[in-house]
C-alpha cells in the first residue's frame, strides 16, 4: 500500500490508554464474557478499523445494487449526527435530520429497500424484523459496524484505505485506528479501497503478503469511479464530466477525504474553487452565505456548483439555501469498481452466502 500515516506522537500516551480499553473489550468478547448475538437471517457487516474515509457508503451501495433485485434488502446504520433517538425506519417523508446524511442518501437512491437507524444494532435488527418494522426483510447490511460486536454477523467485510495502511497507523487519538490492526483477523473478506486504477498484479500480491491473510480470508482491490453529473433541483439529463471543461466550479463538500474528488474534478474543469467542510458537516446559515458569496465571485456565464451525493443530502432540504443558486447545483456520484475482475469472485461469494443462510424466521436466536 501507499502513503504515510500522519501520527500525532504527543497524543501517544492517550492512545496507550485507549488501546488498553479496546483490547480488554475485545478479549471479553473473544472469551465469551460479553455476548455476541446471532440472528437467523443473512447479516453482512461493512466496516473498517479507522475513523472515516475508506469508502463505506459506496461499497454498501455496491452491495445494494448486487442484491436488491433478488432479495428483500435492509440497511441498518447508526445514523451519525441525526437529531432523533432510538430506532427509526426511514419512510418517504423522513428528513435527513431524522436518519443522518448517509442513510438519507441511500433511502433516496434506493426506494425499494428498507433503511433504518439505531445506535443499538441488536435492538435495531429486532425492531427491523418485527411485525411493526419491515418483517419481509431477507438480508441486512450493517453499515459501519465492525466494532459493534454485540451483533455476530454471518459475513464481515473490512475496508482498508490504500493510501493509509493500517500497519503503519496508531490508535486514536495519535492516529486514526479505532482498534489495533490485529482486529482484521475477524474479517472474512478484506477490500483495499481507493487504489490507483492502474494498480498492477505484482503490487496486489505485495499487499497480500503485507496484510498476512488468514486461511479463511480473501482480499480484493477497488478504485473510485465517478459517474455522470446530475442537477440536484432540476429535472434534466445527466452529463459527463467533460462538460466542465469550460466551467469554473465551486466545489462544496464535507467528506472525510476530499483530495481524490478535487483531483478528479480538477482534471476536467477549467478551474475549481474548493469550499471544504468537515465530514458530516451540518450546514448553517453562515455556510449558506459563504457558498453564495463564493459563487457570485465566479464568471457569470461559466459558473457551476458541484457537490457529492452525501453533501447533497444535507443541502437539498436546507431552508436557507438561496433559491438563485439551485439551478446551478450539480451532484457527482461516486461508485467503486473492482480491479483485475475481482467482482467475478466477490459477487458470487456474497450471493452464495445469502442463499445458504436465508431463513423465513426473523426471530433472534439469542
Residue 25: CATH number of its domain: 3.40.50.300
What is the per-residue pLDDT for 2? 56
What crossing angle do the helices spanning 56-67 and 343-357 adopt, rounded to 10°?
60
Q: Is 55 annotated as a binding residue?
A: yes
| 363 within a domain of the structure (yes/no) | no
Q: Give CA–CA dist 46/221, Å, rounded.
A: 15
Mean local confidence (pLDDT), 191-198:
97
Please tell me the predicted confidence (pLDDT) of residue 5: 82
Side-chain half-sphere CA neighbours of 292 within 13 A: 14
Same domain, 263 and 186: no
The number of distinct structural domains making up the chain is 2
Q: Report the distance separating Cα 361 and Cα 366, nearest Å.
A: 13
C-alpha 143/C-alpha 159 separation (Å) is 12
- Each residue's pLDDT tens digit, 28-73: 999 999 999 999 999 999 999 999 889 999 999 999 999 999 999 9
Residue 282's contacts (CB-CB under 8 Å, 6 or more residues apart) are: 81, 314
Q: 88 and 237, same structural domain?
A: no
| Percent helix, strand and coil across the chain, each to the nearest 5 | 35, 20, 40
Judged against a pLDDT cut of 50, whether residue 364 lies above it is answered with: no
Do the domain assignments include residue 365? Answer: no
Report CA Rg, the chain: 21
Residue 124 lies in a domain: yes
Residue 360 has pLDDT above 50, yes or no: no
Same domain, 42 and 105: yes
In terms of domains, do 141 and 54 share one? yes
Q: What cell was used for 224?
A: 473510485
CA-to-CA distance for 54 and 176, rounded, in angstroms? 12
Is 53 marked as a binding-site residue?
yes
Per DSSP bridges, beta strands 230-231 and 218-226 are unpaired
**Domain assignment present for 2:** no
Both 125 and 63 in one domain: the answer is: yes
Residue 124 assigned to a binding site: no
Q: Please answer whether residues 12 and 174 qualify as being in contact, where contact means their C-beta atoms are separated by less than 8 angstroms.
A: yes
Pairing of strands 155-161, 43-48: parallel
Please state, in angstroms and rounded to a whole number, the distance separating the CA atoms of residues 230 and 74. Answer: 26
How do residues 145-186 score in pLDDT, each as one tens digit? 999 999 999 999 999 999 999 999 999 999 999 999 999 999
148: in domain: yes
Residues spanned by the domain of 317? 228-332
Does residue 198 have a known ligand-binding role? Answer: no
d(CA 98, CA 210): 42
Angle at 212 (CA atoms; ends 8, 52), nearest 5 degrees = 40
Rounded Cα–Cα distance for residues 80 and 98 (Å): 10
- Tell me the pairing of strands 334-338 and 218-226: antiparallel
Which pLDDT score, from 0 to 100, does residue 361 have?
Answer: 34
289 with 236, same domain: the answer is yes
* Sequence-ordered alpha helix ranges (H) in the chain: 12-30, 56-67, 96-99, 101-109, 121-128, 201-211, 259-268, 285-296, 309-315, 343-357
What average pLDDT does the structure give for the chain?
Answer: 94
pLDDT digits (tens, 9 = 90+) for 299-346: 999 999 999 999 999 999 999 999 999 999 999 999 999 999 999 999
Same domain, 185 and 66: yes
Q: Would 4 be classed as within a structural domain? A: no
- pLDDT tens digits, 109-155: 999 999 999 999 999 999 999 999 999 999 999 999 999 999 999 99
169 and 305 fall within a common domain: no
For helices 101-109 and 56-67, angle between their N-to-C axes, nearest 10 degrees: 30
Q: Give the CA distances from residue 6 to residues 117, 168, 174, 196, 199, in Å, rounded to whole numbers and listed in that order.
A: 32, 9, 9, 21, 23
End-to-end CA separation in angstroms for the chain? 40
Same domain flag for 128 and 151: yes
Q: Is 50 labeled as ligand-binding?
A: yes
Examine the domain organization and report whether 285 and 197 are in the same domain: no
Q: Which residue has the cell 433511502?
A: 107
Nearest to 41 by CA among 72, 68, 14: 72
The reply to whether 16 and 43 lie within a common domain is: yes
Query: Is 49 a domain residue?
Result: yes
- Is 129 within a domain? yes
On whether both 73 and 168 belong to a single domain, the answer is yes
Grid cell locating 278 = 468537515
Write the DSSP assignment of 78-115 as a string of letters: --TT-S--S-EE--TT--HHHH-HHHHHHHHH-TTSEE
57 annotated binding-site participant: yes
pLDDT at residue 80 greater than cutoff 70: yes
Is 51 annotated to bind ligand?
Answer: yes
Residue 258, φ and ψ in degrees, nearest 5: -80, -10
Average pLDDT over residues 261-274: 96
Do 118 and 124 form a contact (C-beta atoms < 8 A)?
Answer: yes
What is the CB-side half-sphere exposure of residue 361 using CA atoms within 13 A? 6
Amino acid at each position: 500500500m501507499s502513503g504515510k500515516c500522519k501520527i500525532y506522537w504527543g497524543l501517544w500516551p492517550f492512545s496507550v490508554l485507549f488501546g488498553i480499553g479496546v483490547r480488554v473489550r475485545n478479549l471479553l468478547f473473544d472469551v465469551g464474557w460479553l455476548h455476541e448475538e446471532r440472528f437467523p437471517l443473512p447479516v453482512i457487516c461493512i466496516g473498517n478499523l479507522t475513523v472515516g474515509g475508506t469508502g463505506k457508503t459506496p461499497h454498501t451501495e455496491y452491495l445494494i445494487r448486487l442484491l436488491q433485485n433478488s432479495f428483500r434488502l435492509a440497511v441498518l446504520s447508526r445514523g451519525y449526527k441525526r437529531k432523533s433517538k432510538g430506532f427509526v425506519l426511514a419512510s418517504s417523508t423522513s428528513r435527513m435530520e431524522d436518519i443522518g446524511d448517509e442513510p438519507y442518501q441511500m433511502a433516496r437512491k434506493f426506494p425499494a429497500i428498507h433503511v433504518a437507524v439505531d445506535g443499538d444494532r441488536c435492538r435495531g435488527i429486532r425492531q427491523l424484523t418485527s411485525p411493526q418494522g419491515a418483517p419481509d426483510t431477507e438480508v441486512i447490511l450493517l453499515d459501519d459496524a465492525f466494532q459493534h460486536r454485540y451483533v455476530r454477523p454471518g459475513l464481515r467485510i473490512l475496508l482498508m484505505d490504500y493510501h493509509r495502511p493500517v500497519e503503519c497507523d496508531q490508535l486514536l487519538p495519535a492516529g486514526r485506528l479505532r482498534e489495533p490492526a490485529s482486529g482484521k483477523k475477524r474479517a472474512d473478506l478484506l477490500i483495499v479501497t481507493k487504489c490507483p486504477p492502474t494498480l498492477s498484479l505484482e503490487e496486489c500480491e505485495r499487499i497480500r503478503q503485507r496484510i498476512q491473510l488468514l486461511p479463511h480470508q480473501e482480499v480484493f482491490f477497488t478504485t473510485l469511479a465517478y459517474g455522470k453529473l446530475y442537477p440536484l433541483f432540476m429535472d434534466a439529463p445527466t452529463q459527463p464530466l467533460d462538460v466542465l471543461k469550460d466551467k469554473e466550479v465551486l466545489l462544496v463538500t464535507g467528506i472525510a477525504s476530499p483530495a481524490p474528488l478535487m483531483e478528479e474534478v480538477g482534471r476536467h474543469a477549467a478551474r475549481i474553487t474548493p469550499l471544504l467542510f468537515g465530514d458530516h458537516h451540518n450546514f448553517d446559515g453562515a455556510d449558506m452565505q459563504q457558498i453564495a458569496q463564493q459563487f457570485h465571485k465566479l464568471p457569470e456565464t461559466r459558473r457551476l456548483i458541484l457537490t457529492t451525493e452525501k453533501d447533497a443530502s444535507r443541502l437539498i432540504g436546507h431552508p436557507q439555501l438561496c433559491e438563485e443558486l439551485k439551478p446551478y447545483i450539480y451532484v457527482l456520484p461516486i461508485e467503486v469498481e473492482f480491479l483485475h475482475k475481482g467482482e467475478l469472485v466477490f459477487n458470487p461469494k456474497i450471493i452464495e452466502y445469502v442463499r445458504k443462510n436465508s431463513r423465513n424466521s426473523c426471530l433472534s436466536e439469542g
